[in-house]
Amino acid sequence: MIEIAPGPAPLDAAARVPGSKYEANRFLIAAALTEGTTRLRGLPEGEDVQAAISAVSALGGSTADRGDCLEVRGIAADASPGSSFDPGIPTQVSVGESGTLLRFLTAAAATVPGSITVTGRGRIRERPVAGLVAALGTLGADIETTGGFAPLTVRSGRLEGGTVGVPASESSQFASGLLLAAPRAAGAVSVELEGDPVSASYLDLTVSVMARCGVNVERPGPGRFRVAPGARYRPGDHRISGDWTAASYFFAAAALAAGRVTVDGLDPDSPQGERRFPELLRRMGCEVSEAPSEEGVRVTVTGASHLRGLPVDMRSMPDAVPTLAAIAPFAEGATRIHGISHLRHKESDRIAALADGLGRLGARVTATDDGLAIESPASGAPFRTAALDAHGDHRIAMALALTGLRLPGVRIRGPQVVAKSFPGFWRALAELGFRVCGAEGS
Protein backbone atom coordinates (compact mmCIF):
# COMPACT_ATOMS: atom_id res chain seq x y z
CA MET A 1 0.00 0.00 0.00
CA ILE A 2 1.22 3.53 -0.73
CA GLU A 3 0.17 6.88 0.65
CA ILE A 4 0.07 10.11 -1.37
CA ALA A 5 0.28 13.60 0.09
CA PRO A 6 0.86 17.11 -1.26
CA GLY A 7 4.43 18.38 -1.37
CA PRO A 8 5.83 21.85 -0.75
CA ALA A 9 3.92 24.62 -2.53
CA PRO A 10 3.92 26.04 -5.07
CA LEU A 11 4.10 23.23 -7.60
CA ASP A 12 6.27 24.20 -10.57
CA ALA A 13 7.84 21.18 -12.22
CA ALA A 14 8.65 19.37 -15.45
CA ALA A 15 7.95 15.72 -16.17
CA ARG A 16 8.97 13.12 -18.73
CA VAL A 17 6.57 10.45 -19.88
CA PRO A 18 7.26 7.08 -21.49
CA GLY A 19 6.63 6.33 -25.13
CA SER A 20 3.10 5.46 -26.15
CA LYS A 21 2.33 1.80 -25.56
CA TYR A 22 -0.49 2.19 -28.09
CA GLU A 23 2.01 3.06 -30.81
CA ALA A 24 4.53 0.50 -29.56
CA ASN A 25 2.16 -2.47 -29.75
CA ARG A 26 1.02 -1.53 -33.25
CA PHE A 27 4.59 -1.10 -34.47
CA LEU A 28 5.65 -4.40 -32.94
CA ILE A 29 2.87 -6.36 -34.67
CA ALA A 30 3.54 -4.61 -38.00
CA ALA A 31 7.29 -5.24 -37.65
CA ALA A 32 6.68 -8.94 -36.96
CA LEU A 33 4.71 -9.14 -40.22
CA THR A 34 7.40 -7.30 -42.20
CA GLU A 35 9.99 -9.09 -44.33
CA GLY A 36 13.25 -7.59 -43.13
CA THR A 37 14.46 -5.72 -40.06
CA THR A 38 12.63 -2.83 -38.40
CA ARG A 39 14.24 -0.68 -35.71
CA LEU A 40 12.10 0.79 -32.98
CA ARG A 41 13.38 3.53 -30.66
CA GLY A 42 11.82 4.95 -27.53
CA LEU A 43 9.90 1.79 -26.63
CA PRO A 44 8.31 2.16 -23.20
CA GLU A 45 8.78 -0.27 -20.38
CA GLY A 46 5.76 -2.04 -19.01
CA GLU A 47 4.23 -5.48 -18.99
CA ASP A 48 2.00 -4.89 -22.02
CA VAL A 49 4.90 -3.96 -24.27
CA GLN A 50 7.04 -6.84 -22.96
CA ALA A 51 4.19 -9.19 -23.82
CA ALA A 52 4.05 -7.72 -27.34
CA ILE A 53 7.80 -8.30 -27.75
CA SER A 54 7.26 -11.94 -26.77
CA ALA A 55 4.45 -12.13 -29.33
CA VAL A 56 6.93 -11.30 -32.10
CA SER A 57 8.70 -14.59 -31.46
CA ALA A 58 5.42 -16.48 -31.33
CA LEU A 59 4.62 -15.15 -34.80
CA GLY A 60 7.96 -16.43 -36.12
CA GLY A 61 10.01 -13.24 -35.91
CA SER A 62 12.88 -12.35 -33.60
CA THR A 63 14.06 -9.36 -31.60
CA ALA A 64 17.43 -8.04 -30.48
CA ASP A 65 18.09 -5.24 -28.00
CA ARG A 66 20.74 -2.94 -29.46
CA GLY A 67 20.76 -0.49 -26.57
CA ASP A 68 19.38 2.54 -28.40
CA CYS A 69 16.74 0.53 -30.24
CA LEU A 70 14.99 -2.79 -30.52
CA GLU A 71 15.63 -4.61 -33.79
CA VAL A 72 12.70 -6.68 -34.98
CA ARG A 73 13.25 -9.20 -37.76
CA GLY A 74 9.94 -10.16 -39.27
CA ILE A 75 8.87 -13.27 -41.12
CA ALA A 76 9.21 -13.88 -44.84
CA ALA A 77 6.39 -12.59 -47.00
CA ASP A 78 6.06 -15.98 -48.73
CA ALA A 79 6.03 -18.04 -45.54
CA SER A 80 3.50 -20.82 -45.89
CA PRO A 81 1.93 -23.25 -43.44
CA GLY A 82 4.49 -25.78 -42.23
CA SER A 83 7.50 -23.82 -43.53
CA SER A 84 8.95 -23.09 -40.09
CA PHE A 85 6.62 -24.60 -37.48
CA ASP A 86 5.07 -27.92 -36.75
CA PRO A 87 1.35 -27.04 -37.08
CA GLY A 88 0.47 -29.95 -34.80
CA ILE A 89 2.22 -28.40 -31.80
CA PRO A 90 0.74 -24.97 -31.03
CA THR A 91 3.09 -22.25 -29.84
CA GLN A 92 1.69 -20.85 -26.61
CA VAL A 93 1.99 -17.17 -25.76
CA SER A 94 0.52 -15.11 -22.94
CA VAL A 95 -0.72 -11.58 -23.57
CA GLY A 96 -0.74 -10.93 -19.82
CA GLU A 97 -3.68 -8.60 -19.19
CA SER A 98 -3.46 -6.78 -22.50
CA GLY A 99 -6.80 -6.79 -24.30
CA THR A 100 -5.16 -4.86 -27.13
CA LEU A 101 -2.56 -7.56 -27.70
CA LEU A 102 -5.20 -10.30 -27.40
CA ARG A 103 -7.01 -8.85 -30.42
CA PHE A 104 -3.91 -7.87 -32.44
CA LEU A 105 -2.10 -11.18 -31.92
CA THR A 106 -5.18 -13.24 -32.75
CA ALA A 107 -5.54 -11.50 -36.11
CA ALA A 108 -1.80 -11.61 -36.91
CA ALA A 109 -1.58 -15.29 -35.99
CA ALA A 110 -4.13 -16.09 -38.71
CA THR A 111 -1.57 -15.02 -41.34
CA VAL A 112 1.49 -17.03 -40.30
CA PRO A 113 2.58 -20.69 -40.35
CA GLY A 114 1.88 -22.94 -37.42
CA SER A 115 -0.70 -22.86 -34.68
CA ILE A 116 -0.65 -20.36 -31.84
CA THR A 117 -2.54 -20.64 -28.55
CA VAL A 118 -3.18 -17.23 -26.97
CA THR A 119 -3.60 -17.14 -23.20
CA GLY A 120 -3.53 -14.46 -20.54
CA ARG A 121 -4.35 -13.67 -16.94
CA GLY A 122 -6.61 -11.49 -14.83
CA ARG A 123 -9.77 -10.51 -16.69
CA ILE A 124 -8.35 -11.46 -20.10
CA ARG A 125 -10.73 -14.44 -20.19
CA GLU A 126 -13.63 -12.00 -19.94
CA ARG A 127 -12.50 -9.60 -22.65
CA PRO A 128 -14.80 -9.71 -25.74
CA VAL A 129 -13.23 -11.34 -28.77
CA ALA A 130 -16.08 -13.16 -30.55
CA GLY A 131 -16.72 -10.35 -33.06
CA LEU A 132 -13.11 -10.47 -34.21
CA VAL A 133 -13.03 -14.27 -34.38
CA ALA A 134 -16.18 -14.28 -36.53
CA ALA A 135 -14.70 -11.72 -38.94
CA LEU A 136 -11.44 -13.69 -39.22
CA GLY A 137 -13.45 -16.85 -39.85
CA THR A 138 -15.16 -15.14 -42.77
CA LEU A 139 -11.70 -14.47 -44.21
CA GLY A 140 -10.71 -18.14 -43.87
CA ALA A 141 -9.10 -18.31 -40.42
CA ASP A 142 -9.51 -21.41 -38.25
CA ILE A 143 -9.84 -20.33 -34.61
CA GLU A 144 -11.00 -22.34 -31.62
CA THR A 145 -12.08 -20.29 -28.59
CA THR A 146 -13.12 -21.16 -25.06
CA GLY A 147 -16.79 -20.34 -25.12
CA GLY A 148 -16.14 -17.28 -27.26
CA PHE A 149 -13.27 -16.02 -25.10
CA ALA A 150 -9.57 -16.68 -24.53
CA PRO A 151 -7.71 -18.98 -24.29
CA LEU A 152 -8.00 -19.47 -28.02
CA THR A 153 -6.01 -21.34 -30.65
CA VAL A 154 -5.38 -19.98 -34.14
CA ARG A 155 -4.58 -22.87 -36.44
CA SER A 156 -2.23 -22.84 -39.40
CA GLY A 157 -3.83 -21.46 -42.51
CA ARG A 158 -4.04 -18.63 -44.99
CA LEU A 159 -6.05 -15.45 -44.59
CA GLU A 160 -8.08 -14.77 -47.71
CA GLY A 161 -9.21 -11.39 -48.94
CA GLY A 162 -12.78 -10.21 -48.74
CA THR A 163 -15.19 -7.82 -47.08
CA VAL A 164 -16.09 -8.28 -43.43
CA GLY A 165 -18.27 -6.44 -40.97
CA VAL A 166 -17.02 -6.04 -37.44
CA PRO A 167 -18.89 -4.80 -34.35
CA ALA A 168 -17.51 -1.41 -33.37
CA SER A 169 -19.48 -0.67 -30.21
CA GLU A 170 -17.52 -3.17 -28.09
CA SER A 171 -13.99 -2.26 -29.12
CA SER A 172 -12.11 -0.53 -31.92
CA GLN A 173 -9.41 -3.18 -31.49
CA PHE A 174 -11.34 -5.72 -33.58
CA ALA A 175 -11.03 -3.49 -36.63
CA SER A 176 -7.46 -2.48 -35.80
CA GLY A 177 -6.42 -6.12 -35.53
CA LEU A 178 -7.96 -6.93 -38.91
CA LEU A 179 -6.27 -3.95 -40.55
CA LEU A 180 -2.84 -4.78 -39.08
CA ALA A 181 -3.10 -8.34 -40.42
CA ALA A 182 -4.55 -7.35 -43.83
CA PRO A 183 -1.23 -6.80 -45.70
CA ARG A 184 -0.53 -10.53 -45.38
CA ALA A 185 -3.92 -11.62 -46.74
CA ALA A 186 -4.19 -13.26 -50.16
CA GLY A 187 -6.33 -10.41 -51.55
CA ALA A 188 -7.79 -7.04 -50.70
CA VAL A 189 -9.39 -6.76 -47.27
CA SER A 190 -12.27 -4.39 -46.64
CA VAL A 191 -13.46 -3.76 -43.08
CA GLU A 192 -16.85 -2.20 -42.38
CA LEU A 193 -17.72 -1.00 -38.90
CA GLU A 194 -21.08 -2.09 -37.53
CA GLY A 195 -22.57 0.31 -35.01
CA ASP A 196 -21.31 3.53 -33.48
CA PRO A 197 -17.54 3.06 -32.95
CA VAL A 198 -15.91 3.53 -29.56
CA SER A 199 -12.29 4.66 -29.27
CA ALA A 200 -12.34 5.75 -32.91
CA SER A 201 -9.14 7.72 -32.38
CA TYR A 202 -7.28 4.43 -31.90
CA LEU A 203 -8.36 3.33 -35.36
CA ASP A 204 -6.82 6.57 -36.64
CA LEU A 205 -3.65 5.62 -34.77
CA THR A 206 -3.62 2.19 -36.41
CA VAL A 207 -3.97 3.75 -39.86
CA SER A 208 -1.18 6.21 -39.03
CA VAL A 209 1.24 3.52 -37.86
CA MET A 210 0.50 1.36 -40.91
CA ALA A 211 1.22 4.33 -43.18
CA ARG A 212 4.55 4.90 -41.46
CA CYS A 213 5.31 1.22 -42.11
CA GLY A 214 4.51 1.54 -45.81
CA VAL A 215 0.88 0.41 -46.04
CA ASN A 216 -1.80 2.85 -47.12
CA VAL A 217 -5.25 2.19 -45.69
CA GLU A 218 -7.98 3.51 -47.96
CA ARG A 219 -11.09 5.02 -46.37
CA PRO A 220 -13.78 4.85 -49.08
CA GLY A 221 -16.57 6.02 -46.79
CA PRO A 222 -17.59 6.53 -43.16
CA GLY A 223 -16.78 3.44 -41.12
CA ARG A 224 -15.14 1.71 -44.09
CA PHE A 225 -11.49 0.75 -44.52
CA ARG A 226 -9.68 -1.08 -47.32
CA VAL A 227 -6.18 -2.52 -47.70
CA ALA A 228 -5.36 -3.15 -51.36
CA PRO A 229 -4.00 -6.48 -52.63
CA GLY A 230 -0.22 -6.58 -52.73
CA ALA A 231 0.20 -4.04 -49.92
CA ARG A 232 3.28 -4.92 -47.88
CA TYR A 233 4.96 -3.51 -44.81
CA ARG A 234 8.44 -2.10 -45.39
CA PRO A 235 11.36 -2.24 -42.94
CA GLY A 236 12.15 1.10 -41.36
CA ASP A 237 13.48 3.05 -38.42
CA HIS A 238 10.77 4.48 -36.14
CA ARG A 239 10.64 6.42 -32.89
CA ILE A 240 7.73 5.93 -30.50
CA SER A 241 6.22 9.27 -29.48
CA GLY A 242 5.34 10.27 -25.92
CA ASP A 243 2.21 8.85 -24.32
CA TRP A 244 -0.57 11.44 -23.97
CA THR A 245 -2.41 9.24 -21.47
CA ALA A 246 0.61 9.11 -19.18
CA ALA A 247 0.94 12.88 -19.59
CA SER A 248 -2.68 13.32 -18.45
CA TYR A 249 -1.74 12.32 -14.88
CA PHE A 250 0.78 15.14 -14.63
CA PHE A 251 -1.54 17.68 -16.22
CA ALA A 252 -4.15 16.60 -13.67
CA ALA A 253 -1.60 17.07 -10.88
CA ALA A 254 -1.21 20.70 -11.95
CA ALA A 255 -5.00 21.14 -11.90
CA LEU A 256 -5.43 19.61 -8.46
CA ALA A 257 -2.44 21.33 -6.84
CA ALA A 258 -3.18 24.68 -8.51
CA GLY A 259 0.42 24.63 -9.73
CA ARG A 260 2.23 24.30 -13.02
CA VAL A 261 3.57 21.19 -14.78
CA THR A 262 5.31 20.99 -18.15
CA VAL A 263 5.58 17.79 -20.19
CA ASP A 264 7.93 17.61 -23.19
CA GLY A 265 8.38 15.03 -25.95
CA LEU A 266 4.75 14.77 -27.07
CA ASP A 267 3.61 14.53 -30.67
CA PRO A 268 1.41 17.52 -31.54
CA ASP A 269 -0.12 15.62 -34.46
CA SER A 270 -0.73 12.37 -32.60
CA PRO A 271 -4.00 10.59 -33.40
CA GLN A 272 -4.17 9.51 -29.73
CA GLY A 273 -7.56 10.65 -28.49
CA GLU A 274 -6.04 11.65 -25.15
CA ARG A 275 -4.31 14.43 -27.07
CA ARG A 276 -7.50 16.42 -26.29
CA PHE A 277 -7.22 16.07 -22.51
CA PRO A 278 -5.47 19.43 -21.94
CA GLU A 279 -8.40 21.11 -23.70
CA LEU A 280 -10.77 19.58 -21.14
CA LEU A 281 -8.65 21.12 -18.39
CA ARG A 282 -8.84 24.46 -20.16
CA ARG A 283 -12.64 24.19 -20.13
CA MET A 284 -12.45 23.47 -16.40
CA GLY A 285 -10.53 26.70 -15.80
CA CYS A 286 -6.86 25.79 -16.19
CA GLU A 287 -4.38 27.61 -18.42
CA VAL A 288 -2.82 25.53 -21.18
CA SER A 289 0.07 26.53 -23.42
CA GLU A 290 2.08 24.69 -26.05
CA ALA A 291 5.47 25.44 -27.54
CA PRO A 292 7.49 23.54 -30.15
CA SER A 293 10.56 21.69 -28.92
CA GLU A 294 13.28 19.52 -30.41
CA GLU A 295 11.32 16.45 -29.35
CA GLY A 296 7.86 17.49 -30.56
CA VAL A 297 5.77 19.80 -28.42
CA ARG A 298 6.12 21.06 -24.85
CA VAL A 299 2.76 21.38 -23.06
CA THR A 300 2.32 23.36 -19.86
CA VAL A 301 -0.80 23.21 -17.69
CA THR A 302 -1.32 25.75 -14.91
CA GLY A 303 -4.04 24.92 -12.41
CA ALA A 304 -6.78 27.25 -11.22
CA SER A 305 -7.98 28.02 -7.71
CA HIS A 306 -11.51 27.09 -8.81
CA LEU A 307 -12.28 24.30 -11.26
CA ARG A 308 -15.57 23.93 -13.12
CA GLY A 309 -17.38 20.68 -13.80
CA LEU A 310 -18.33 19.92 -17.38
CA PRO A 311 -20.27 17.48 -19.58
CA VAL A 312 -18.10 15.47 -21.95
CA ASP A 313 -18.36 12.52 -24.34
CA MET A 314 -15.14 10.54 -23.83
CA ARG A 315 -15.66 7.62 -26.19
CA SER A 316 -12.60 8.72 -28.20
CA MET A 317 -10.30 9.21 -25.19
CA PRO A 318 -11.36 6.41 -22.87
CA ASP A 319 -8.08 5.93 -21.04
CA ALA A 320 -8.26 9.50 -19.72
CA VAL A 321 -11.66 8.86 -18.12
CA PRO A 322 -10.18 7.80 -14.75
CA THR A 323 -7.93 10.89 -14.77
CA LEU A 324 -10.82 13.27 -15.34
CA ALA A 325 -12.96 11.42 -12.81
CA ALA A 326 -10.27 11.93 -10.15
CA ILE A 327 -10.39 15.71 -10.70
CA ALA A 328 -14.18 15.97 -10.84
CA PRO A 329 -14.97 15.85 -7.09
CA PHE A 330 -12.90 19.00 -6.57
CA ALA A 331 -14.71 21.03 -9.23
CA GLU A 332 -17.72 23.27 -8.80
CA GLY A 333 -20.80 21.64 -10.26
CA ALA A 334 -21.23 18.21 -11.78
CA THR A 335 -18.92 16.52 -14.26
CA ARG A 336 -20.94 14.21 -16.50
CA ILE A 337 -18.97 11.66 -18.52
CA HIS A 338 -20.72 9.53 -21.12
CA GLY A 339 -19.96 7.31 -24.11
CA ILE A 340 -17.88 4.90 -22.02
CA SER A 341 -19.95 1.73 -21.59
CA HIS A 342 -17.03 -0.31 -22.99
CA LEU A 343 -14.95 0.62 -19.91
CA ARG A 344 -16.84 -2.04 -17.97
CA HIS A 345 -14.76 -4.63 -19.87
CA LYS A 346 -11.22 -3.43 -19.15
CA GLU A 347 -8.78 -4.73 -16.51
CA SER A 348 -11.59 -3.85 -14.12
CA ASP A 349 -15.09 -2.54 -14.52
CA ARG A 350 -13.74 1.00 -14.54
CA ILE A 351 -17.11 2.67 -14.12
CA ALA A 352 -17.80 0.65 -10.98
CA ALA A 353 -14.22 0.97 -9.69
CA LEU A 354 -14.26 4.76 -9.98
CA ALA A 355 -17.69 5.01 -8.37
CA ASP A 356 -16.45 2.88 -5.47
CA GLY A 357 -13.19 4.78 -4.92
CA LEU A 358 -14.54 8.31 -5.26
CA GLY A 359 -17.61 7.42 -3.20
CA ARG A 360 -15.37 6.31 -0.34
CA LEU A 361 -13.86 9.79 -0.34
CA GLY A 362 -17.29 11.34 0.08
CA ALA A 363 -17.90 12.40 -3.52
CA ARG A 364 -21.41 12.06 -4.91
CA VAL A 365 -21.17 9.61 -7.79
CA THR A 366 -23.91 8.21 -10.00
CA ALA A 367 -22.92 5.36 -12.28
CA THR A 368 -24.92 4.42 -15.39
CA ASP A 369 -24.39 1.83 -18.08
CA ASP A 370 -22.83 4.54 -20.24
CA GLY A 371 -20.99 6.80 -17.83
CA LEU A 372 -20.58 8.67 -14.58
CA ALA A 373 -21.89 11.83 -12.94
CA ILE A 374 -19.51 13.14 -10.26
CA GLU A 375 -19.91 15.99 -7.78
CA SER A 376 -18.27 17.17 -4.58
CA PRO A 377 -19.80 16.08 -1.26
CA ALA A 378 -23.20 17.48 -0.35
CA SER A 379 -23.20 20.97 1.12
CA GLY A 380 -21.53 20.99 4.50
CA ALA A 381 -20.30 17.40 4.23
CA PRO A 382 -16.53 16.92 4.34
CA PHE A 383 -14.31 14.81 2.15
CA ARG A 384 -12.94 11.69 3.82
CA THR A 385 -9.56 10.02 3.49
CA ALA A 386 -9.54 6.30 2.90
CA ALA A 387 -7.65 3.30 1.63
CA LEU A 388 -8.75 2.86 -1.99
CA ASP A 389 -8.64 -0.38 -3.95
CA ALA A 390 -6.94 -0.33 -7.35
CA HIS A 391 -9.14 -3.27 -8.41
CA GLY A 392 -6.12 -4.79 -10.16
CA ASP A 393 -6.21 -1.96 -12.71
CA HIS A 394 -3.25 0.28 -13.52
CA ARG A 395 -5.43 3.19 -14.69
CA ILE A 396 -7.53 3.12 -11.51
CA ALA A 397 -4.43 3.04 -9.29
CA MET A 398 -2.80 6.02 -10.98
CA ALA A 399 -5.97 8.09 -11.20
CA LEU A 400 -7.16 7.55 -7.63
CA ALA A 401 -3.67 8.38 -6.38
CA LEU A 402 -4.17 11.89 -7.73
CA THR A 403 -6.89 12.54 -5.18
CA GLY A 404 -4.18 12.39 -2.52
CA LEU A 405 -2.81 15.66 -3.88
CA ARG A 406 -5.84 17.33 -2.30
CA LEU A 407 -6.66 14.89 0.50
CA PRO A 408 -3.61 13.95 2.61
CA GLY A 409 -3.92 10.40 3.84
CA VAL A 410 -5.27 8.76 0.70
CA ARG A 411 -3.81 5.28 0.36
CA ILE A 412 -3.81 2.94 -2.65
CA ARG A 413 -4.00 -0.82 -2.26
CA GLY A 414 -2.20 -2.85 -4.91
CA PRO A 415 0.04 -0.07 -6.27
CA GLN A 416 2.26 -2.55 -8.15
CA VAL A 417 -0.33 -2.81 -10.93
CA VAL A 418 1.11 0.35 -12.54
CA ALA A 419 3.84 -1.94 -13.93
CA LYS A 420 1.41 -2.83 -16.70
CA SER A 421 1.89 0.48 -18.49
CA PHE A 422 3.99 2.92 -16.40
CA PRO A 423 6.41 1.13 -14.02
CA GLY A 424 8.05 4.41 -13.00
CA PHE A 425 4.82 6.21 -12.11
CA TRP A 426 5.31 6.44 -8.34
CA ARG A 427 8.89 7.62 -8.77
CA ALA A 428 7.81 10.21 -11.33
CA LEU A 429 5.10 11.50 -8.98
CA ALA A 430 7.68 11.85 -6.19
CA GLU A 431 10.04 13.70 -8.53
CA LEU A 432 7.34 16.34 -9.04
CA GLY A 433 7.63 17.05 -5.32
CA PHE A 434 4.71 15.08 -3.92
CA ARG A 435 5.14 12.76 -0.95
CA VAL A 436 4.85 9.11 -1.92
CA CYS A 437 5.31 6.81 1.04
CA GLY A 438 5.80 3.07 0.78
CA ALA A 439 5.90 3.10 -3.04
CA GLU A 440 5.73 -0.62 -3.63
CA GLY A 441 6.42 -1.53 -7.24
CA SER A 442 7.88 1.89 -8.04
**Contact predicate 261/286, CB 8 Å:** no
List all residues 6 or more positions away from 271 whose beta carbon is below 8 Å from its beta carbon: 201, 202, 204, 205, 207, 208
List all residues 6 or more positions away from 428 whose beta carbon is below 8 Å from its beta carbon: 15, 16, 17, 250, 422
Q: Phi, psi at residue 257, to the nearest 5°?
A: -95, 5
**Contact predicate 32/76, CB 8 Å:** no
What is the rounded CA–CA span in Å between residue 5 and residue 429?
10
What is the rounded CA–CA span in Å between residue 239 and residue 98?
22
Residue 245: which of 310, 321, 304 has the closest Cα? Answer: 321
DSSP calls for 367-414: E-SS-EEEEPPSTTPPP---EEE-TT-HHHHHHHHHGGGTSTTEEEE-
* 65 in active site: no
Residue tagged active-site, from 319, 349, 356, 389: 319
SS3 content of the chain, % helix, strand, coil (to 5): 35, 25, 40
What is the rounded CA–CA span in Å between residue 436 and residue 431?
10
Count CB-CB contacts under 10 A for residue 357.
26
In degrees, rounded to 5, the angle at the alpha carbon of residue 348 between the alpha carbons of residues 104 and 223 is 40
Residue 199: which of 96, 321, 107 has the closest Cα? Answer: 321
DSSP calls for 101-145: HHHHHHHHHTTSSS-EEEE--GGGGGS--HHHHHHHHHTT-EEEE
What residues are annotated to the active site? 319
